[in-house]
Amino acid sequence: MALLVQKFGGTSVGTTERIEAVADKVCRFRKEGHDIVVVVSAMSGETNRLIGLAQNIMEEPTPREMDVLVSTGEQVTIALLSMALQKRGCEARSYTGSQVRILTDSTHTKARIRQIDEQRMREDLTAGRVVVVAGFQGTDEHGNITTLGRGGSDTTAVALAAALKADECQIYTDVDGVYTTDPRVVDSARRLDQITFEEMIEMASLGSKVLQIRSVEFAGKYNVPLRVLSSFQDGGGTLITFEDESVMEQPVVSGIAFNRDEAKLTISGVPDTPGSALNILKPISDANIEVDMIVQNVGADNHTDFTFTVHRSDYKRAKEVLDQVARDLGAREEVSGDNKIAKVSIVGVGMRSHAGVATTMFEALSREGINIQMISTSEIKISVVIAEKYLELAVRALHSAFELGEPDAEGQ
Ligand code: ADP
Ligand code: ASP
Ligand code: MG
C-alpha cells in the first residue's frame, strides 16, 4: 500500500458539495489501504476576495498582515473537509501550516519552505487517520504566519511528499492533466501522458499556471513523483518525468505557454559606454522590480536603445524609476512603454536536436500578420513578445503549426 499526498485546488473544493465529493474520493483511497495526506486550497475565489477586502482599506497593505489575512482561506477548507471525512467514518485531523511546523523564511507573501517536521503527521498516519493540511502557508522562525505565493498549495503538497518520502504527489485540479497548451484557450489542446521536469519548469515559468513553478522545481530536486489529475473524473492524468531515454522520438515542441502579465519599457538615446546596462537596471532592481527579457540594440553614433519587460503590476513604478534614470544619464529621448503586451513561448526538449524551429514559429506568426516585438531563446524554448490583442490568435496558430492538437480537431 502506498503513502500518497493528494492536493485539491480551489475549484475542486469550491462548494460544500464539492468538498463532500473530495471526501468520497479520499475515503475510497483510504479504504483501499493507502495512507493519505491531503493538502487543500481555499475555496475558489476566496483568496481574491480576501485580497479585495484588504485593498478596500489600503492600496499597499503590509505583507505581514496580508499573510495573516489570506491564510484564513485554507483554514476554512481543512476544517470542512475533515468534517466531511469524519461523517463518512473516515478518521481525519486538520492542521494549519504552523501546526505542522512548515518552517519558512520571513519573505512575506512569497516565503520559501526551509523545513518540515513530519513527526506529527506520521503519528496520525500510524493511527490510521487522514491528515488534512492547509496549503499555501507556513510560519517563520519568529512564529509569524507566511504564505508561499499564488498557487502555493502545489508547493506545500510537494514539500510534504518530499518530507514524508511519499510514493506519489497527486495534484487534483479542474483539468485532467497537463495539456499542450491551456485547454481553455485552444479547444484542440491535447492532454500529455508525460512531460519532463525540465519542460514543465519552463511551461510553468512562462505562464502555464496548472502547477506553481516552485512545486515543480522542488519535486525535481527531491525526486518526488508528481502527477496532475482531474478531481472530477477518473484517469491517469499527466506524470512529470525525468527525461525518458526509452522514448525514441521526442516531439520537437511539447507545449505552448503564454503570459499576459507583461509590460515593456524602452529607454532610447543613452550614451553607449561600459556600465550603461548597470546604470539602467540597478535602480530598477533596487526598487525590487524583477526584469524578465532584456534587449540592447547595437549602438550607433555612441548611443544605444535598451528595452526590457517587467510584471505588469510593476509597470507604473518601473516607468517612474526609468524616467529618473533617463534624466540622470542625459538620454536624448523620452522613455516609452507599453503595458498591453503578452509573451508566447514554445517549449520542448526536442528543440535541442532540431534546427528550423524558430523559422516555423516566425512563419506561423507572420502568416497571421502578428508583429514580433522581442525574442528570447534558450536550449529548450523560444519566447516572443507580441501585442496582447493577438495573443489567442498566436497561441492557436502555433499550436496548429507544430501539429500539437488532436488529429481530428485540427483536420490532420
Ligand atoms: P487549482 O485551483 O486546482 O490549483 P489552477 O487554476 O491553478 O487550478 O490550474 C488549473 C488551470 O490551469 C486549468 O483550469 C487551465 O485553465 C490552466 N492551464 C494553463 N495552462 C495549462 C496547460 N498547459 N495544461 C492544463 N491546464 C493549463
Ligand atoms: N489559495 C491560494 C491562491 O489562490 C493558494 C492556492 O490555491 O494554491 O493562490
Ligand atoms: Mg493552482
Q: Do residues 166 and 274 share a domain?
A: no
Residues 254 and 230 in one domain: no
Q: Which residues of the chain have pLDDT under 50?
A: 410-412
Residues 155 and 35 in one domain: yes
Domain containing 48: what range?
A: 3-241
Ligand nearest to the backbone CA of 231: 1
Q: Which residue, by CA, sits nearest to atom 4 of ligand 1?
A: 9
Cβ < 6 Å from ligand 2: which residues?
9-10, 41-42, 47, 73, 135-136, 150-153
Q: Output the residue whose Cα is nearest ligand 1's atom 7.
A: 210
Sheet holding 374-378, edge to edge: 291-296, 303-311, 255-271, 336-347, 381-387, 374-378
Q: 78 near 156, Cβ under 8 Å?
A: no
Beta-carbon contacts of residue 203 (< 8 Å; ≥ 6 apart): 178, 195, 210, 255, 257, 347
Element (H, E) at 362: helix 357-367
DSSP string for 87-105: HTT--EEEE-TTTTTEEE-
Ligand 2 atom with least separation from CA of 10: 7
What's the farthest any 2 CA atoms get from each other in the chain? 78
Domain count for the chain: 2
Q: Look at residues 238, 258, 255, 224 and name the one whose alpha carbon lies nearest to residue 176.
A: 238
For residue 360, report the distance from its CA to the centre of ligand 3, in Å: 32
Q: Please give the pLDDT value at position 183.
A: 96
Which residue lies with its CA nearest to atom 8 of ligand 2?
A: 151
Ligand nearest to the CA of 157: 2
Q: Are residues 231 and 304 in the same domain?
A: no
Per-residue model confidence (pLDDT) at position 410:
47
Domain containing 362 — which CATH number? 3.30.2130.10
- The answer to whether position 410 is within a domain reads no
Q: What is the pTM of this model?
A: 0.93
Ligand 1 atom at shortest distance from the alpha carbon of 203: 23
Task: Mark residue 357 as left, alpha or beta (left: phi above 0; alpha: psi -120 to 50; beta: remaining).
Answer: alpha
For residue range 335-372, list pLDDT tens digits in order.
Answer: 999 999 999 999 999 898 888 899 999 999 999 999 99
Query: Which of 191, 211, 241 lies at the terminal end of a domain, its last residue?
Result: 241
Q: How far is the CA of 231 from the centre of ligand 1 (A)?
A: 12
Cα gap 346→208, rounded to integer Å: 12
Nearest atom in ligand 2 to the alpha carbon of residue 212 is: 8
Picking from 175, 123, 188, 112, the residue whose alpha carbon sits closest to that of residue 147 is 112
Contact yes or no for 124/93 (Cβ under 8 A): yes
Residue list, ligand 1 pocket, CB within 6 Å: 9-12, 41, 151, 173-175, 178-179, 181-184, 208-210, 255
Which ligand 1 atom sits nearest the alpha carbon of residue 177? Answer: 25
240 CA to centre of ligand 2 in angstroms: 21
pLDDT of residue 244: 62
The answer as to whether 407 is a domain residue is: no
